Amino acid sequence: MNPLNKIIFLSAFLASGFLLILLSCALFNNWKPLWVILLFLLAPLPNIVAQSVDSHRDDFLTFSNDHGNTPTALKEFCQHFTGFLIVSGIALPLTLYHSNLIELGAMTMSIVGGLVVYCAIIVFIWFFSEDEEENDDFNF
């Protein structure tokens, strides 16, 4: 797939998620579900940081044969924190609905929109993080 087509598809997917969240606020005249955007935008950041730190780690003196497959404490903490942010992004609209601060439609639209935003970011990272092979010019 052409990289330009990937960017266009993912930007439309991301815009639809933002649209759902903004409509959940605007249609019901209550701007409290807007915090969902912040939670779902911050959710992939700990994993990105852990992946960049682990990719620059030197395994020369570790004496392991698994070549970096063992998760480090930083990677496990970042995965835990990412899970915490995702669960918080889902739980915040549920809590606001339970306390009668938002309506059912706003809750549903903000949860679905937040998950769409998070999935678009993850797919964007997945599409463009493919490692280029060194011998790609020779088709090996």
Q: For 113-140, give one letter per residue: b (16+ CB within 10 A) or e.
A: bbbbbbebbeebeeeeeeeeeeeeeeee
Q: How many angstroms separate the CA atoms of 129 and 49, rounded?
A: 14
Please report, in tens digits, the pLDDT of each residue of the chain (140 residues total).
788 888 999 999 999 999 999 999 999 999 999 999 999 999 999 999 988 887 766 555 555 555 556 778 888 999 999 999 999 999 999 999 999 999 999 999 999 999 999 999 999 998 887 654 444 555 55
What one-letter code names the amino acid at 79?
Q
Which residues have CB under 8 Å from 35's CB, separation 6+? 92
What one-letter code names the amino acid at 34?
L
Q: Which domain holds residue 80?
A: 3-54+71-128
> Is 75 a domain residue?
yes
> Is 140 a domain residue?
no
* Cβ atoms 91, 22 nearer than 8 A: no
> Is 7 a domain residue?
yes
Q: If we measure between CA atoms, which residue out of 19, 12, 10 comes closest to residue 37?
A: 19
pLDDT digits (tens, 9 = 90+) for 28-68: 999 999 999 999 999 999 999 988 887 766 555 555 555 55
> Is 79 a domain residue?
yes
> Is 134 a domain residue?
no
